Amino acid sequence: MPTRRAPQPEDRGKAAEQTRERILDAAVAEFGAKGYAGARTAGIAARAGVNQQLISYYFGGKQGLLEELRRRWQRVESSIAAPDASFDESIGAYLDATLDRPDWARLAVWQALGDCPFTDAEEGERHAEAQRSRLAASVEKMRLRQQAGEVTDAIEPEFALLVAYAVIFAPIAMPQFVRDILGDDPLAPETRQRLHRQLTRLLGGAEE
């Protein structure tokens, strides 16, 4: 019989990292489906196929999971579209980021509804201030696109940004409406292409 090799430290480290990633993937799915208030660590553990105690061991509990997911989404969000991307390219990038990760997008919707609490009021205010700053920068970028003729100036830049967010998140926030209105699967590639095409036509500047 071959001698069984004892696990090496690097093997244990890799196994631990894989377990952490399984838990995080399960947490995104559970939070996305039920919101933070409705999610249970038992449900997350069952999705991940791990002992429930490992959630506390690796993340300190449900709140720790949420905080790690927030950090990860912030990194993703900061790199969705290149700084010099055109309006059309930006719309495509945000549609891909949202609809390729429906569980993450649902978590963002829950957070927008106030369901994802922070550990304390001060941390929550820091997050809110950072979000206001990001959105203000997005409004300013929309205004510059209008001045360049890339986006219509028939509406306020704030409203143009709001319309873009509403359409991009519609398949996640209102899937049944999208299905009934457009007559197709909200997450189907054809629906994504249609939303992209119509949104750029709606908000795009005058054609040459």
DSSP string of the chain? -PPPPPPPHHHHHHHHHHHHHHHHHHHHHHHHHHHHHH--HHHHHHHHTS-THHHHHHHSSHHHHHHHHHHHHHHHHTTSS-TT--HHHHHHHHHHHHHS-HHHHHHHHHHHTT-S--SSHHHHHHHHHHHHHHHHHHHHHHHHHHHTTSB-SSS-HHHHHHHHHHHHHHHHHSHHHHHHHHSS-TTSHHHHHHHHHHHHHHHB----
pLDDT reported for residue 123: 80
Q: Which of 58, 25, 53 is nearest to 41 (CA)?
A: 53
pLDDT reported for residue 119: 75
Written as one letter, the residue type at 82 is A
d(CA 114, CA 107): 11
pLDDT reported for residue 208: 43
pLDDT reported for residue 206: 57
pLDDT reported for residue 86: 95
pLDDT reported for residue 174: 96
Q: Which of 177, 74, 208, 207 is nearest to 195 (CA)?
A: 177
List, for the chain, all residue ranges whose pLDDT scores fall below the cut of 70: 1-12, 206-208
Residue with tokens 């649902």: 106
pLDDT reported for residue 12: 66
Residues 6+ apart with CB under 8 A from 96: 192
- Residue 184 half-sphere exposure, CB side, CA atoms within 13 Å? 10
C-beta atoms surrounding 104 within 10 Å: 20
Q: What are phi and psi of 183, to 5 degrees?
A: 75, 30
Report residue 41 CA to chain centroid gap.
21
Please state the pTM of the whole predicted model: 0.84
d(CA 59, CA 41): 11
